[in-house]
Amino acid sequence: MALQNYRIVTYSPAYTIVPTYECFNRCTYCNFRAEPGSSNWISLSAAKDIFQRLQKQNVCEILILSGEVHPNSPRREQWFNLIYDLCNLALSMGFLPHTNAGVLSYEEMQKMKQVNVSMGLMLEQLTPKLLQTVHKHAPGKNPELRLQQLEWAGELKIPFTTGLLLGIGETLVDCWDTLAAISQIHHKYKHIQEVILQPHSPGTQQSFDFPHFNPHKLPQVIAKAREILPKDIKIQIPPNLVKDEQWLLACIEAGARDLGGISPKDEVNPDYPHIQENELREILQPGGWDLLPRLPVYPQFDEWLSGELEVGVKRLREEIALSL
């Protein structure tokens, strides 16, 4: 395949593991969380069974996506160790872990770097006015705390994904300010791989009474984001939240070049099933776009990895290259 003849959109063949849905934050738009103490956490043996089945499938990324345990909770250490052990297990079985577990301490991020090829945390929106509305009962969504995570990731040389949630009460100016803050931090550390632009999509569990973010506005937001963000940051959109095929193509034309992790279930938006690889390819082809798999760490960050992480990335890069 002569890749230079194609316009390319990427995705990550991924599977999401949820250590726990329990979360001390109570964001009113959330369709993911469970009350603390209300459910069992995943066991390593159950995760191992899943990973063994996935070894026979086209999966390279294990996304560890968790609800947040309060920093002062007596279960915090148990929770963190479970996530660390899940990453280590995934790595030992040939996968590349990427963790998004909310706000972590510097020491927790430093340790998690040992077993993750990349990590992530959505900024959502930096305007403090949301602390009086959708984030009123979500102390983990304090904008300063979340910006600090991006700073620490840069200091620790962790390849990082962040993003915006659109349609939760912000203005377009708020969006541009959040994008500008991401750009400023990236100029300092050069560590941000992707920025996700995620339109709010109502689900059956939330209490937030707002409509869908208008998908017809998404190309405009993407085009402006492309102006604000450095060119080495890729813009990602979740295709299952852009239902109209023509508007999905319009988002690609506007500057989005990645469709994120494609797995059996969107854990954050369970009411919106992922569009699978073959169907996405059919949607993109009329626009002259080719859909290609990628790893959860971009090649420019490979030199930041060492040991088992470096070995795993090298092996899977070779496997992906051979499959094209």
pLDDT at 324: 58
pLDDT at 211: 77
Torsion angles phi and psi, residue 165, rounded to 5 = -105, 125
Q: Are 154 and 189 in contact (CB under 8 A)?
A: yes
Q: What is the mean pLDDT of the chain?
A: 93
CATH superfamily ID and name for 3-323 = Aldolase class I (3.20.20.70)
pTM of the predicted protein model: 0.95
pLDDT at 4: 47
pLDDT at 3: 47
> Residue 264 burial (CB < 10 Å; 0-12/13-18/19+)?
exposed
Percentage of the chain modeled with pLDDT above 90: 83
What is d(CA 38, CA 291) in angstroms, rounded to the nearest whole number?
Answer: 40
pLDDT in tens, 164-188: 999 999 999 999 999 999 999 999 9
Amino acid at 74: P
Least confident of 41-55, 209-223, 292-306: 209-223
pLDDT in tens, 61-103: 999 999 999 999 999 999 999 999 999 999 999 999 999 999 9
Q: Is 293 left (phi over 0), alpha (psi -120 to 50) or beta?
A: beta
pLDDT in tens, 128-152: 999 999 999 999 999 999 999 999 9
Cα distances (angstroms) measured from residue 49 to each of 43, 54, 81, 89? 10, 9, 19, 11
With cut-offs at 50, 70 and 90, classify the pLDDT of residue 1: very low
Closest CA to 90 of 49, 119, 39, 121: 49
CA angle 236, 280, 285 (to 5 degrees): 100
With cut-offs at 50, 70 and 90, classify the pLDDT of residue 6: low
Query: For residue 271, is pLDDT > 90?
Result: no
What is d(CA 205, CA 184) in angstroms, rounded to the nearest whole number?
Answer: 36
With cut-offs at 50, 70 and 90, classify the pLDDT of residue 191: very high
Q: Are 168 and 124 in contact (CB under 8 A)?
A: yes
